[in-house]
Homo-oligomer: A and B are copies of this chain.
Amino acid sequence: MLLHTIYLVAIVAEAMSGAIMGMRRDMDLFGICLIGTVTALGGGTIRDVLLGHYPLSWIANPEYLLFTIGAAIVTAVVARVLHHARTVFLVVDGLGLVAFTVIGCNVAMSSGMAPGIVVVAGLITGIFGGVLRDVLCNEIPWVLRRELYATVSLLTGGLYVGLLSLKIDINIASLVAIGAGFLFRLLAIRFHWRLPSFNGATIRGLD
C-alpha cells in the first residue's frame, strides 16, 4: 500500500534528521542511533500511549527499529556528503509530516475517537518525534517557535477528517489530504510563511 511505503520512507528520513542533530551535539554512535529512532518513532509512540492503543507499532513490527537504526548509522558514515542534500531533506521531511498525520488520524479513528481527537492524534504523530528529539538535545522544541509546520499537520488532518465526513472514499481522501498538505508545506518553506508570535519583552515583568 502506498501509505505504508511513504511511512517507511518517512521514518528513514526522520531518523536521518535526528541522527544529524545528534552528531552536531557530539553524541556517540549509540546516542545517534537512539536519537534517530526517537525522532522517527516517538510521535507514534506518544500517540499510542495517550490513546491506550497497544501494542505500539514498533513493538508489533520490530523491523521498524532496523530501519531507523540503519538510517542513523548510514547518516553517521556519509554525513559529509549529506551536507549538499539539505533541500532533499526538507522535502522528504514535509512528505513525512503529512503521511504521519494521516496515519495518526487512521489509528485514532480505528479506536473510535471523536473528530477533534482524531485531528489531535494526527498532530501528535506528526510533530512529537521532533519535540522529543529537541528535548533530548536540550533545545526548546523548534516546532513551537518557527515556520508553518504544526499548522500543516493540523490542516492536513482537518481536511482528511472533513473529506471522510463527506463519505469520500478513504483512498481518495488520503491522497487529497497528503497532496494538499505537502503542497502547503512546500509553499510555506518557499515563502517563509509563519504564524504570528508576540514580543516576549513586553511581558518581561510577569513570571
Interface membership of chain A positions 38-49, coded 1 if the CB is closer than 8 angstroms to chain B and 0 otherwise: 000000010001
- Taking a contact as CB atoms under 8 Å apart, the answer to whether B29 and A197 are in contact is yes
**CB proximity to B under 8 Å, residues A118-141:** 120, 131, 135-141
How many copies of this chain sit in the oligomeric assembly?
3
Q: Which of B117, B151, B197, B203 contacts A80 (CB 8 A)?
A: B203
- Taking a contact as CB atoms under 8 Å apart, the answer to whether B144 and A22 are in contact is yes
- Taking a contact as CB atoms under 8 Å apart, the answer to whether B24 and A205 are in contact is no
* Residues of B with C-beta under 8 A to A45: 50
- Taking a contact as CB atoms under 8 Å apart, the answer to whether B200 and A23 are in contact is yes
- Taking a contact as CB atoms under 8 Å apart, the answer to whether A145 and B196 are in contact is no
Is A65 interfacial (CB 8 A cutoff)? yes
State the main secondary structure of chain A at its contact with B.
helix
* Residues of B with C-beta under 8 A to A113: 59
- Taking a contact as CB atoms under 8 Å apart, the answer to whether A202 and B26 are in contact is no
Question: Closest CB of chain B to A19's CB: distance in Å?
Answer: 9
Q: Which residue of B lies closest to A50 (CB)?
A: B56
Q: How far is the CA of A21 from the CA of B32 in the complex (A)?
A: 24
Where the two chains meet, the residues of A that have a C-beta atom closer than 8 Å to any C-beta of B are: 20-32, 34-35, 45, 49-52, 54-56, 59, 62, 65, 76, 79-80, 82-83, 85-86, 113-114, 116-117, 120, 131, 135-141, 143-146, 150-151, 194-198, 200, 202-207
